[in-house]
Amino acid sequence: MIAHDLIDLGYPRRLHLLGIGGTGMRPFAKLLAAEGHIISGGDTRACDDLVADGIPVTLDAAATGLPEGVEGVVHSAAIPLDHPAIQDARRRSVPVVKYARAVGFYSRGKSTLAVAGTHGKTTTTALLAHVLRSGGYDPSYLVGGNVTQLPSPGVGRSDLLAVEACEFDRSFLHLSPRMAIVTNIEADHLDYYRDLVEITAAFQAFSTQVSDLLVLHESLRETIGRAGGVRARVKTFGPSPDADIRILPMPGRSGFHVEGREFPMQLPGFHNALNAAAVLAVAEELGMERAAVAQALAHFGGVGRRLQMVGRPRGISVVDDYAHHPTEVAAGLRALRESLAPRRLWVVFQPHQYSRLRRFLPEFAEALMGADRVVVPPVFAARDGDEDRLAVSSDDLVSRVRGLGGDAIHISDFGGVIDFVRTQARAGDVVVTMGAGDVGHVAGRLAESL
């Protein structure tokens, strides 16, 4: 039987983090270490930044047990319960908790500002932390991405905590936020949820846990804002006259208008303007003036792997993006076409999960039609069963795109992808690599090869 899953993080503990190199676990490890906890960890990937910060990390973590003296184990959702370190913890009666529950423990006693939604959580949380830091509010923050403008670790002096609230595994139900943002709700993580109805119910349950202010995209006013049990005040944002914060685009420029005031931004795309409008609602609730918010937004340079400009070799713009859902792909391609006006827009899209590709195959093909040329490497497998692996492939996606009249090709390895794009791309083209898998390493290699 697993040890009672309660870890008091109110005073320094010796903790071991399994999957410490994950997007959420990595900043959490640094934050805990900065607050006096003694942290070690294990992962299958190198974590040089953690080691440089004095956090020992054991590679090939699946082969190792639990270090001596550990008082608690935190593991990511990807770590199986038969992991040797978890088995070791069971034998020693050491508490074992998932990452999401540990963040819930950490947030107790803090004024938590949570950002939820199918898309945009990382960017919106980073924007929120940046804006509040610029306004002198000095929050702590947990952001699952590389943000050069946010110091690491994310320890602030105030009791405010800005944190991503992920819907996968119902992780966000471990939080009890003072304020929360819900950017959008769509069908995703269908390897965990049955359908959109079940996903929406999870967001409704999350929203009932918010105490003061619930900030919603205007499309969610009925399904979430007026759901039973919601006790927080509701404020909506969006482009319609019915939105509490009505935003309008700035033609030819990135950013938005609210009641005649301009909010210029470096981040392209109206989806990022919507993210910023949600941040504006929270910042105003905390007492920040709109002029100060506008200034902070204008100086925010973005998050790594979120339409990140990698370089412009030979006049070819190389961009990297984390998009792995059809809506994200379509929004990213649209933003690049509007902001960079490419001669041709290329996308190297690596599907993330066979299960997701299988369920959204027509939608992915339609989204990729926003590019002029589409290159599809092999699918990145994660939590996929044999049925999904056998049911769909990158070739199927290429065939769908071609069936819609698009220019698409499947290339079986990243070396071949780089060689193909390097020989075919011309000055004035924009090449974006997209996906949540190891395609993230391709943009830098491509830029070097050009």
Q: Which amino acids are annotated catalytic?
A: 121-122, 164
Instruction: With H, G, I as helix, E, B as strand and everything else as coil, classify residue 81.
Output: coil
Token look-up 């110091």 returns: 151
DSSP assignment of 16-58: EEETTTSTTHHHHHHHHHHTT-EEEEEESS--HHHHHTT--EE
CA distance 31 to 155: 6
DSSP assignment string, 275-324: HHHHHHHHHHHTT--HHHHHHHHHT----TTSSEEEE-GGG-EEEEE---
Q: Please compute, for residue 373, the number of CA atoms within 13 A of its CA located in the half-sphere on the CB side.
A: 17
Phi, psi of 291 (to 5 degrees): -60, -40
Q: Which residues pair with 213 in a beta bridge?
A: 179, 233
What SS3 class is residue 173? helix
- DSSP-derived 3-state class of residue 229: coil
Dist. CA 281–CA 113, nearest whole Å: 12
- Secondary structure (3-state) at 161: strand
What contacts 396, CB < 8 A, 6 or more positions away? 357, 361
For residue 153, say if its preceding peptide bond is cis, omega within 30 degrees of 0: yes
The contacts of residue 242 (CB under 8 Å, 6+ apart) are 218, 221, 236
- Which amino acid, 397? L
| Listed residue (113, 96, 120) closest to 214, CA to CA | 113
Length of the chain, in residues: 450
